[in-house]
Amino acid sequence: MLTKDAIANVFQKKLTNTRKICLQVLDQNSDLGHINQTQRITLSDGNWFASFKLLGSLSNTARESLRQFDVVLIDLVFNPRTNSGTVTSFTIEESGSASKIGAPQNVENFENMRRINEARTGGYGRRQVQNYDDDDCTEIANLTPYDSDWKINGRVIKKTDKRTFTKRDGNSGCVFNIHILDENNDRIQGIFFTEAANEFYEKVYMGKVYYFRGGDIKKVRNPKYNTTGNDLEIMFNRNSRITEVQNTDVIPQFFYKFIPLKQIEEIEENESIDVLAIVHKVGDADEIRLRSGEMRKKQQINLVDDTGFVCSLTLWGEQIAKVNVKENDIIGFSELKVRDFRGKQLSFSYNSKVIEDNLRDLPLYRKLMAERNRGVTVSKNISETSFGKIVVKKIRQVDQECKAILNDNYESKETKLYYNVHAYVSFVKERISYPSCHNDNCKKKVIENFTKQYECARCEQTYDQPKCK
């Protein structure tokens, strides 16, 4: 069954991302002799028909498998500024039909469009972003990599510092990122490299609202550096246009998803989270020698919230000066990394920031204020390390915890648990070395044979005397 009035709805409401609509093939562009020829396909919903581009990678499949009057299930990307769409995928639902379904009319016909306008009122898709200067804007949720002429309206809710790097050719470059929030609470990351970074770094400010136009919309290559939850990001260039908007009430001032510390135990390592909590304890900033031999300052801060759970936040080097908190402060952090080392902990990453927005009107902030005023009650510390002191356990505790965690897999060698145990040595085996192979790259234990020589099964060598290890 065809999706009723699907094509009319696309053109009428300018939906930019239509998934799984069922249409009938009326015609295909057969003039594919030139390598740059764009294949087009005419589709009908039974009442209306329109011609759409076909994604280049689908051309061969379409030529070989599609026939006139086939019924197909398609994904369609539509550009409202150019009134054109691209079919990005299709599957054949019915094949072999002898005639077209219904008496479809051309949706681009003015009279037809007028009739659609009169017959239909709202109700399709998500509402468009409010246009302060009457220009069309696309919602962030409806952006696609196929959009070339787009415009979004959003608030800058995050801006990273501009950092430098060395390119492959030896020249230096720079980069900074921003997060853009629209009125629907959807976010997307914008990236500015070198020329674009130098052009816009001093022109884009945290908290302000802008029209953004021009740049390449791409799939996120490395989610490690993109924490918006959007699988697309915008690569701005020096020709992009960014214009400040004065009337900004419709877009939220900020957007954070604060996670209770209690839930951190269930979060996977390397996930990024927002946290609003009370500073429970502040450790000393100690000099730590890294494996590389470099000395670096390290500080641990214990955070607690209204759940009574305590979690440790580790700061390194210049991060210590940036945070600069004292006990009983209420502080917010965006995009802290979850670590799993001797318990769940938090750490600063490239994207992490101290939240500088005024959070005092949030219900969570008021709850934390009340908790702090009556004296924080700690129920559990989910970080086993605290200010450099290692928590140790008795062997009996380790055995009990292992059985509880592993259950039926207690004997499994695939699951590894690590503990620090406080104990004393009660017995030492008399032999604390073993006879080994002379080959330093082997060092396997050798076995004495009946001729009183020692054989190495790995190297297939025989020795009069073993090398003790």
Domains of the chain: 6-119 (2.40.50.140), 140-245 (2.40.50.140), 261-381 (2.40.50.140), 435-468 (2.20.25)
**Model pLDDT, residue 152:** 93
- Complete DSSP assignment for 393-438: B-HHHHHHHHHHHHGGGTT-SS------B--------S----EE-S
Contacts of 394 (CB under 8 A, 6+ apart): 421, 422, 423
* Exposed / middle / buried, residue 333 (Cβ in 10 Å: 0-12, 13-18, 19+): buried
Over residues 49-58, the pLDDT tens digits come to 888 888 877 8
- Determine contact, residues 14/80, Cβ cutoff 8 Å: yes
Over residues 217-264, the pLDDT tens digits come to 999 888 777 878 788 999 999 889 999 987 666 787 767 788 899 999
Per-residue buried b or exposed e for 178-215, using 16+ beta carbons within 10 Å of the residue's own CB: bbbbbbbebbbbbbbbbebbebbbeebeeeebbbbbbb
- Nearest residue to 8 (alpha-carbon basis) of 44, 52, 54: 44
Residue 80 has pLDDT above 90, yes or no: no
| Residue that wins the pLDDT comparison between 9 and 118 | 9
Over residues 126-166, the pLDDT tens digits come to 333 343 443 578 889 888 888 878 899 999 988 888 999 98
Contacts of 460 (CB under 8 A, 6+ apart): none
Over residues 274-297, the pLDDT tens digits come to 999 999 999 888 888 777 778 888
- Determine contact, residues 102/81, Cβ cutoff 8 Å: no
Sign of CA dihedral 338, 341, 345, 348: negative
